[in-house]
């Protein structure tokens, strides 16, 4: 049972702030670190894994600082996003080298046990450079787990992994979380995090934007106002009609389009067709104008 704690941790590179005053505590179970690309997830991961000094604040594992503390790796298993450059080794040799570096009393048995756990016994005799992305990811996880660490850190573990392998990896991580290990993985894909993590930390632009169980975060994300662009046969008539709706927060005319800001997505979608028919307006085009994940995150930050 281990707790990884960031206490007002910041990291800047020159005058670029990558991580800005983040405080959070990661405990046992699976936690997802969610954020768009470039949000500072990798920087946060590097600080938590002891491979980056915080510019300000502290990063500790069970009270011990992780930076320049070699002993910490008895407790931590790290799965970097970085590709394996040991292509000339077989999967078994690579995992075994990790076991040897930990000076495990029975490195050979530990290697076989963990290969079995990640379901890589059969291909373990082949060279790493013949592996698929999903296999390499599983071997990396095996290497990080061979010493049974209480904390497992994974940076974008599902990137480039095909859907079947992804399910497989998720089952594995879920099992590790259920065993009481502290498992933290980063991702920029909402659905991945939703399916796996019980607890979620959201970072946007280097700031800690939200924290909580998935239900709470999902509500935050779906309850936000949504922007639509509508084109119709009579924009002004439609605008007037829309403004009378409770779910509509703002309407503005922009050239050939109407920009509509909606508070309650569900009732707007139900009401719009009826409203158009009632006023004899034909809807020519309806498109969400800010559905990207970035805008969802931006909304969370602005709150």
Partner 1 sequence: MISPGEPVRTVFNPTIAKLALQALLGRRRFYLLLAFPVLLIGLVTLITVLADGDAAFEILPGLGYPLVLPLVAILAASSVLGPEVDDGSIVYLLSKPVSRYGVAISKWVVALGATLTAGALPILVAALITGDSTRALGLFVGAVVAGTTYSALFLAISAVTRHAVIASLMFVLIWESLLGNLFTGIAWLSIGQWGLRIGHEISSELPDPANLGYAIIASLLVTVVGVWFAGDRLRSFTLRGDE
Footprint on this chain of partner 1 (rule: CB under 8 A) = 2, 37-43, 46, 49-53, 62, 64, 68, 70-78, 80-86, 88-89, 97-98, 100-103, 143-144
Dist CA 234 CA 142 (whole Å): 62
In whole angstroms, the minimum distance from the beta carbon of 110 to partner 1 comes to: 14
In whole angstroms, the minimum distance from the beta carbon of 144 to partner 1 comes to: 8
In whole angstroms, the minimum distance from the beta carbon of 151 to partner 1 comes to: 11
Dist CA 137 CA 159 (whole Å): 9
Nearer to partner 1, 126 or 249 (CB): 126
DSSP 40-91: SHHHHHHHHTTSS--SEEEEEETTEE-TT-GGGGGTEEEE-SS----TTSBH
5, two tokens = 């704690």
252, two tokens = 């503005």
In whole angstroms, the minimum distance from the beta carbon of 184 to partner 1 comes to: 14
Helix (H) or strand (E) holding 27: none
Q: Give the closest residue to 176 by CA, choosing from 200, 195, 152.
A: 152
In whole angstroms, the minimum distance from the beta carbon of 101 to partner 1 comes to: 4
In whole angstroms, the minimum distance from the beta carbon of 143 to partner 1 comes to: 7
Q: Within the chain, where are the H helices?
A: 41-48, 91-101, 107-117, 133-145, 163-178, 190-196, 214-222, 235-243, 265-278, 293-302
Using DSSP's 3-state secondary structure scheme, residue 279 falls into coil
CA angle, residues 157, 209, 249, in degrees to nearest 5: 120
């Amino acid at each position: 049972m281990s707790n990884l704690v960031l206490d007002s941790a910041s990291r800047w590179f020159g005058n670029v702030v990558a991580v800005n005053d983040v405080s959070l505590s990661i405990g046992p179970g699976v936690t997802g670190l969610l954020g768009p690309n470039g949000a500072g997830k990798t920087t946060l991961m590097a600080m938590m894994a002891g491979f980056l000094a915080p510019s300000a604040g502290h990063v500790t594992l069970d009270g011990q600082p992780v930076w320049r503390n070699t002993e910490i790796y008895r407790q931590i298993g790290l799965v970097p996003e970085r590709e394996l450059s040991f292509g000339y080794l077989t999967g078994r040799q690579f995992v075994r080298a990790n076991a040897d570096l930990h000076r495990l009393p029975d490195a050979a048995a530990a290697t076989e046990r963990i290969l079995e756990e990640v379901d890589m016994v059969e291909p373990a005799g082949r060279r790493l450079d013949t592996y698929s992305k999903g296999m390499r990811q599983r071997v990396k996880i095996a290497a990080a787990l061979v010493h049974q660490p209480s904390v497992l850190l994974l940076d974008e573990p599902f990137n480039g992994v095909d859907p079947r392998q992804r399910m497989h990896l998720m089952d594995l991580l879920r099992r590790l979380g259920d065993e009481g290990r502290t498992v933290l993985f980063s991702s920029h894909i909402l659905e991945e995090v939703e399916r796996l993590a019980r607890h979620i930390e959201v970072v946007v632009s280097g700031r800690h934007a939200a924290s909580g169980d998935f239900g709470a975060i999902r509500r935050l994300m779906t309850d936000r106002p949504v922007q639509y662009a509508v084109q119709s046969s009579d924009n002004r008539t439609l605008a007037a009609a829309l403004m009378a709706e409770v779910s509509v927060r703002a309407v503005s005319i922009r050239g050939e389009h109407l920009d509509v800001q909606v508070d309650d997505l569900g009732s707007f979608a139900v009401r719009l067709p009826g409203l158009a028919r009632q006023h004899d307006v034909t809807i020519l085009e309806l498109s969400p104008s800010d559905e990207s994940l970035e805008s969802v995150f931006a909304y969370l930050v602005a709150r």
